[in-house]
Structure 1
Amino acid sequence: MTLLFSVSGGMGGLSAFSTCSLPSISTTVTHFHNNKLRLQRRFNSVPIVSMTGWVKEEQEQILPPSLTSTSPPPSSLFDGTTRLYISYKCPYAQRVWITRNTKGLQEKIELVPIDLKDRPSWYKDKVYPPNKVPSLEHNNEVRGESLDLIKYIDTHFEGPSLFPTGPDKEFAEELLSYTNTFYKTVVSSFKGDVTEAGTAFDYLETVLSKYDHGPFFLGQFSLVDIAYAPFIERFQPFLIDVKNYDITMGRPKLAAWIEGMNNIEGYKITRSDPKELVESYKKRFLANP
């Protein structure tokens, strides 16, 4: 269920594995808007994955700076501006960021990045009491949970439709529901046998073989691809580095999917340096308690 807060602080349900915090398709997308994001410059080493391995390119990105405990809130809260609160490091927030970009909503939805290690108190007190990302401020309400938000943006804003309404809808919902199982299965293999992770990637390979009119989960690019992309972006370099395990080996459909995702402009700008992702995952999953 969508986690929603009104200005007065009303609260809805909460689903798991949809947000980042710290302790304290029926239509093929044939074009993308290239509206520039404003404020500070950010330089990332952007991975482009092929069947032969990693190739890195430097891509300049103009993105807003992350807000910290010393940062004031953006202009006037609940002034009619639609704002997407994210963290650049959060895969769940990345889902919603990709959706915003792909639908060409850079000028309609303001990006407000939060530093999760030094987050501003006003975010919890005045915007989103769960104090997590992502969240969306729209029509004087704040909604949370990444899978709910990508659907909400797809249905409530202009731009190409990213979710099927016909016979593929039920299958698409199943694939979205599987993302939690996929994540937990792969993560559980980090300290043990990678064979278990292999079963999860084999499942994706089988699913990707269902359609032959494109490299994506439903053939055409959709919210399903957006839901999986941030995690595969992290799992691939981590498993290569830590387990010497190439998730594309023997999985040509998955390899083609990765290459297809790397051609999605709305996704490119959201990617992080794979070396940074590997180090982050090592600290999170392999550090001694």
Structure 2
Amino acid sequence: MLPPALDSSSEPPAIFDGTPKLYISYSCPYAQRTWIARNCKGLQEEIKLVPIDLKNRPDWYKEKVYPANKVPSLEHNNEVKGESMDLIRYIDSNFEGPSLFPDDPSKREFAEELFSYFDSFYKAVISSLKEDKINDAIAAFDSIETALSKFVDGSFFLGSLSLVDIAYAPFIERFQPFLLEVKNYDITTGRTKLAAWIKEMNQIEGYTVTKRDPKEHLENYKRRFLSQL
């Protein structure tokens, strides 16, 4: 049972009481990254999940927790840190649990390339969602298919599940239903590696418990992008 999102009428949790807290929004893909990392490390009992209602966020969140007033943020060791890419690395490095980053130097190097590529991937797909053409999205997902073909010791980007998969999954989860219904474009057609990756991700409980209904993503993206066409 997921805790309810806290809004402007909610009392704050006990802040800086020694319990690590992950502040998220259930609808935010950036926050979802950190939630997945927490789960896949097996930290459900150690890091408390504190969901925030972004449409009616409580004043105390900005005033007492995170002045940037964004999610995700992590309260740990009497500090609050933000930025999802930094946080998934921090969670992996500073808490117990299975490592989500490989020791293999070639895989670590490729991981950094994929982290750097994410912004280009995101911008390319978003440009296709905004416009009446999908060439940029096609090229972006072709790049993902190529990346998934680099290592043959598993279906994930680096062979086994890693922070790279966690960084990309929340966004592909949202792009896929919109492109299929609105653009009539199936991102898995002709991309066997991507299809296998999506199937494998959907076997990871630490990820699946964070997923929203695809219809919810679809409606959110329709409101966001169709008015711009």
TM range (shorter): over 0.9
Q: 1:288 to 1:217 in 2, by over 3 A?
A: closer
TM-score, with structure 2 as normaliser: 0.97
The percent of aligned pairs where both chains have the same amino acid is: 69
What is the one-letter code of the residue matched to 1:144? G
Deviates more, 1:187-196 or 1:124-133: 187-196
Counterpart of 1:182 in structure 2 is 121
1:242-274 CA-to-partner distances (Å, cap 9, x unmatched) read 100000000000000000000001001000000
Unpaired segments ≥5 residues, structure 2: none
The one-character-per-residue Cα deviations of 1:103-161 (angstroms, maximum 9, x if unpaired) are 10000000000000000000000000010000000000000000000000000000000
Equivalence for 1:131:
69
Partner Cα distance (1:235, 1:118) in 2: 26
Which residues of structure 1 form unaligned runs of 5+?
1-61
Code of the aligned partner of 1:81: T
Quote how far apart the aligned CAs of 1:288 are.
4.7
Equivalent-residue separation in structure 2 for 1:201 and 1:288 (angstroms): 23
**Aligned partner (choices 142, 157, 163) of residue 202 of structure 1:** 142
Q: How many residues align?
A: 227
The one of the two structures with greater contact order (alpha-carbon pairs below 8 A, sep at least 6) is 1
Q: Which of 48, 54, 58 is residue 116 of structure 1 equivalent to?
A: 54
1:174-253 correspondence runs (5 A): 174-190=113-129, 191-253=131-193
Q: CA offsets per residue over residues 19-48 of structure 1, 9 Å max, x none?
A: xxxxxxxxxxxxxxxxxxxxxxxxxxxxxx
By how many angstroms is 1:165 displaced? 2.9
Question: What is the aligned partner in structure 1 of residue 216 from structure 2?
Answer: 276
Deviation at 1:166, TM superposition (A): 2.8
Q: Could you tell me how far apart the structure 2 residues matched to 1:192 and 1:172 are?
A: 32
1:142 alignment partner in structure 2: 80
TM-score normalised to the size of structure 1?
A: 0.77
User: In the alignment, which residue of structure 2 is the partner of 1:264?
Assistant: 204
- Matched letter for residue 8 of structure 2: S
Secondary structure in structure 2 of the residue aligned to 1:85: strand
Counterpart Cα distance in 1 of 2:63 and 2:29? 24
Separation of aligned partners in 1, 2:132 and 2:115: 26
Q: CA deviation at 1:287?
A: 2.0
Q: What is the aligned partner in structure 2 of residue 86 from structure 1?
A: 24
CA RMSD of aligned residues (A): 1.0
Distance 1:165 1:122 in 2: 41
Distance 2:79 2:228 in 1: 41
Moved over 6 A (4+): none
Task: Point out the structure with the larger strand share.
Answer: 1
The secondary structure found in structure 2 opposite 1:266 is helix
1:63 aligns to what?
2
Which of 176-185 and 270-279 deviates more?
176-185
Q: What is the letter of the counterpart of residue 108 of structure 2?
A: K
